Amino acid sequence: MMRYNVSQLLKAHSGVSRHYEMEADIQGLDEEIKPRDLLRGEIQLMRTTQGILVTGHLRTVVELTCDRCLEPFTVPVEMDLEEEFRPTVDIGTGASLPVVEEEAGQGTIDDHHTLDLAEVVRQGLLLAIPMHRLCRPDCAGLCPECGQNLNEGPCQCQRRVEDPRWAALKELRL
């Protein structure tokens, strides 16, 4: 569940908080995220003078495609969450609240006092996924000639004779 009704929390004074154990199915959250487990973790919703501050630590397992050999592999992903959500209507009167321009990109609490974490979680997971997606650190990748996965063994392609002008760069180790 990634939607929380915060009407009672909005009526409370600043500093009041609620703790939740989160377990959510995130299939279909984003086409780049292929979860292989439920999203699990702990979150805290705390009343602030402006709205609700959401903090927490979440984890799951996602399937990625190796950048070198194009084979699928799974990787555990953990993320910390910290986002402030602001109400769009006054909890007492139901009147619409003005949106301050600097706050336009922040999370909002809808007219029914429901806070939806889906977009914040999606963005957090995309940032938590490794930038260089390798099935293992020493992945050999694919042969540029025949496409053989070099992790499974060498291919039968003829190795090209290298231009001797590039020989000095071969000695360079980064």
Per domain, the residue ranges of the chain are 3-141
The whole-number mean pLDDT for each consecutive block of 10 residues of the chain, a chain of 174 residues, reads 88 93 92 93 94 96 95 96 86 64 65 89 94 94 90 84 78 79
Q: Which residues contact 42 (CB under 8 A, 6 or more apart)?
A: 19, 20, 21, 22, 56, 57
Q: What is the pLDDT of residue 94?
A: 62
- pTM for the whole structure: 0.77
The tokens for 86 are 């602001």
Say what the pLDDT of residue 87 is: 85
Query: For residue 10, what are the contacts with CB-CB under 8 A and spacing of at least 6?
Result: 47, 51, 52, 87, 91, 109, 113
The reported pLDDT for the residue numbered 106 is: 63
The reported pLDDT for the residue numbered 161 is 65
Residue 77 is predicted with a pLDDT of: 96
How many residues are present in the chain? 174
Looking up tokens 């910290």 gives: 82
Which strand (E) or helix (H) includes residue 4?
strand 3-5
Q: Which two tokens stand for residue 65?
A: 């495609």
Torsion of CA 51, 42, 59, 10, to 10 degrees: -20
Q: How many CB atoms lie within 10 A of CB 117?
A: 24
